[in-house]
């Protein structure tokens, strides 16, 4: 069983389905409202667990009602929570999500996620040392992202950096990542480049191997070589929330099978995830992915 450690955020997603996105100062009637577990760290942990990995999560929750709901949900998915802290007098992270026309707009309030510290990452050294892959995103403090990258290098464990929400990072940090998994917009921000520049040129300039997601087009990947293309899979789109998290989780789960295989499975898992509502609600299980890939060649 692949062992994956995720260092990242845990949120409650407040999701509104709307006929369209609202403009400044405008009020419209929505179609549906739901609360669903989310956060990039929690999403990736759940997705990896459903795909058959043994998963541990490093993160933080508030002492509010959302915090207990989120912990209970992660436990039901089989995610190990020994390194998830409860922060006193603090709310849990939230993401306010509007879904319209198959696309989404998201506002994230970090709350307890801002309390994930480098010391907490170091305290997870034992489980990270046994991991086959580590996933880290950027909804936690940047110093904790750096600590994860440095610990992975020290322990010779591959760290996959999902640079979202995107910020420009020091080149020295990027060199610590086994793979960086941006979309074109995020890669341009990481490198301080023009996002309209050809994405393949951006990939060549990156100081580390890049797996670049391109939505329906699939993904491009480069491991110190010329970028290669994995086409996307056609599916009816319901909600794109969580597709990137599913992609990253699958990449980490199947990385031991080689990068081309892992990217193909990641594209397929992400495609399945957008056919249902909700970030975690759409995440496929291992058998479903295997069956779907067998049907799609």
Catalytic residues: 245
pLDDT band at 297 (very low <50, low <70, confident <90, very high): low
* Residue 56, domain extent: 3-10+40-91+112-295
Number of domains observed in the structure of the chain: 1
Q: Cite the annotated binding site for ATP by residue number.
A: 183, 213-218, 244-245
Both tokens of 222, joined, read 């480069």
Q: What is the pLDDT of residues 163-198, one digit of tens each?
A: 998 999 999 999 999 999 999 999 999 998 888 889
Measured between alpha carbons, how far apart are the two ends of the chain, in Å? 25
Q: Does the residue 73 lie in any domain?
A: yes
What is the domain-level CATH number for residue 135?
3.40.1190.20
Q: What is the pLDDT of residues 103-138, one digit of tens each?
A: 888 888 999 999 999 999 999 999 999 999 999 999
Q: Does the residue 282 lie in any domain?
A: yes
Residue 36 has a pLDDT of: 86
- Give the rounded percent of residues in the chain with a pLDDT score beyond 70: 100
Beta pairing class for 32-38 and 11-17? antiparallel
Residue 244 has a pLDDT of: 93
Which CB contacts under 8 angstroms, 24+ apart, belong to 15-23? 15/97, 15/98, 15/99, 15/241, 15/277, 15/278, 16/96, 16/97, 16/98, 16/99, 17/99, 17/100, 17/277, 18/98, 18/99, 18/100, 19/100, 20/100, 20/101, 21/98, 21/100, 21/105, 22/98
Length of the chain: 297
Residue 273 has a pLDDT of: 92
Q: What is the pLDDT of residues 239-265, one digit of tens each?
A: 777 899 999 999 999 999 999 999 999
Both tokens of 82, joined, read 């020994």
Both tokens of 80, joined, read 């190990």
Residue 133 has a pLDDT of: 98
pLDDT band at 281 (very low <50, low <70, confident <90, very high): confident
Q: Cite the annotated binding site for substrate by residue number.
A: 11-13, 39-43, 139, 245
CB 222 within 8 A of CB 203: yes
Mean pLDDT over each residue of the chain, to the nearest integer? 93
Q: Does the residue 200 lie in any domain?
A: yes
Percent helix, percent strand, percent coil in the chain, to nearest 5: 40, 25, 35
Q: Does the residue 26 lie in any domain?
A: no
- Give the rounded percent of residues in the chain with a pLDDT score beyond 90: 82
Element (H, E) at 232: none
Beta pairing class for 210-213 and 103-109? unpaired
* C-alpha separations of 212 from 62, 137, 201, 282, 288 in Å: 33, 15, 12, 22, 24
Q: Is the whole-model pTM more than 0.85?
A: yes
Average of per-residue pLDDT across 270-277: 87
- Whether residue 279 is predicted with pLDDT greater than 80 in this model: the reply is no
> What's the CA gap between 220 and 41, in Å, rounded?
23
Q: Does the residue 97 lie in any domain?
A: no
> What's the CA gap between 292 and 269, in Å, rounded?
9
CB 86 within 8 A of CB 62: yes
> What's the CA gap between 119 and 196, in Å, rounded?
39
Q: What is the pLDDT of residues 192-224, one digit of tens each?
A: 888 888 999 999 999 999 999 998 899 999 987
Residue 50: CB atoms within 10 A of its CB come to: 24
Q: Does the residue 34 lie in any domain?
A: no
Window from 61-65, 101-105, 155-159, 231-235 with minimum mean pLDDT: 101-105
Q: Does the residue 277 lie in any domain?
A: yes
Average of per-residue pLDDT across 68-93: 96
Window from 39-53, 66-80, 263-277 with minimum mean pLDDT: 263-277
Which residue, 196, 202, 229, 235, is CA-closest to 214? 229
């Amino acid at each position: 069983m692949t062992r994956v450690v995720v260092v990242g955020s845990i949120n409650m997603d407040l999701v509104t389905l709307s006929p369209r996105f609202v403009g400044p100062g405008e009020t419209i009637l929505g179609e549906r409202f739901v609360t669903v577990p989310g956060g990039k760290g929690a999403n990736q942990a759940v997705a990896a667990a459903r795909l058959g990995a043994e998963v541990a999560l490093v993160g933080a929750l508030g002492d509010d009602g959302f915090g207990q709901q989120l912990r209970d949900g992660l436990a039901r998915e089989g995610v190990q929570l020994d390194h998830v802290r409860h922060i006193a007098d603090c709310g849990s992270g939230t993401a306010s999500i509007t879904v319209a026309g198959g696309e989404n707009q998201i506002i994230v309030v970090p709350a307890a996620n801002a309390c994930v510290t480098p010391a907490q990452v170091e305290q997870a050294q034992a489980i990270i040392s046994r991991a086959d892959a580590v996933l880290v995103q950027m909804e936690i403090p940047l110093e904790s992202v750096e600590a994860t990258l440095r610990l992975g290098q020290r322990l010779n464990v591959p760290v996959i950096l999902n640079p979202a929400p995107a910020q420009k990072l020091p080149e020295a940090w990027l060199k610590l990542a086994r793979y960086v998994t941006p979309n074109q917009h995020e890669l341009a921000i990481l490198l301080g480049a023009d996002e309209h520049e050809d994405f393949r040129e951006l990939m060549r300039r990156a100081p580390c191997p890049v797996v670049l997601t391109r939505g329906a087009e699939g993904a491009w990947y480069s491991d110190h070589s010329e970028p290669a293309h994995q086409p996307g899979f056609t599916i009816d789109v319901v909600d794109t929330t969580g597709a990137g998290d599913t992609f990253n989780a699958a990449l980490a789960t199947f990385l031991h099978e080689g990068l081309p295989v892992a990217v193909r499975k990641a594209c397929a898992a992400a495609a399945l995830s957008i056919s249902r509502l909700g970030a975690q609600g759409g995440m496929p299980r291992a058998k479903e992915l295997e069956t779907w890939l067998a049907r799609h060649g």
